Amino acid sequence: MGISADELKLLVLEKIQEMGFTLEEDGTLSVHLADKESVRQLHEPACRIELALRQEWLKENLPNYLPFFANGAEVIPDRIDPVLVEVTNEYQHGLFIGLWTIVALTGAAPELA
C-alpha cells in the first residue's frame, strides 16, 4: 500500500511549514528569518545529514588532519595572519574541503557576519 499524491503533498507542506516556510497564494515559498539562530535552526537538519554522510571519511582521515586545528585555548586572535594558499594536491583538498565543511556544519566556524 503506497501513499497517494495528495497525501505526499500534505506531508511535504507540513514539513516545510514546520521548518518555518510559508506557502504564498501564488505558490511560492517564503521564509522569515528573524536572526542567526533562526538560520541555524533552518539548516540544522541538512547539517545532521551531511555530517552523517561524512562519518566514514572522518574516521579514516581525521587523525591525519587534526594537527592542523587548534583548540580554543591555543588560539590567539592577534597572531592570526591569514594568507591564501592554492590547493594543489589531494592532501590539501581533504584538509580544506573535508574538514572545513565539517567545522562549518557543526557551528565551530568563526562568525563571518
- What is the arithmetic mean of pLDDT over 54-71? 83
Kindly state whether residues 11 and 61 are assigned to the same domain: no
Kindly state whether residues 7 and 53 are assigned to the same domain: no
Cα–chain center distance at 102: 7
User: Of 3, 31, 6, which Cα lies nearest the Cα of 16?
Assistant: 31
Kindly state whether residues 44 and 80 are assigned to the same domain: yes
Domain count, the chain: 2
Confidence label for 64 from pLDDT (cuts 50, 70 and 90): confident
State the residue range of the domain holding 6: 1-32
Kindly state whether residues 71 and 98 are assigned to the same domain: yes
Residues of the chain with pLDDT > 70, as a percent, come to 92
| Cell numbers given for 1 | 500500500
**Cα distances (angstroms) measured from residue 46 to each of 40, 49, 92:** 10, 5, 25
Kindly state whether residues 19 and 54 are assigned to the same domain: no
User: Of 104, 99, 107, 110, which Cα lies nearest the Cα of 54?
Assistant: 99
Kindly state whether residues 3 and 41 are assigned to the same domain: no
113: pLDDT strictly greater than 60: no
**Do residues 30 and 22 make contact, with C-beta atoms less than 8 angstroms apart?**
yes
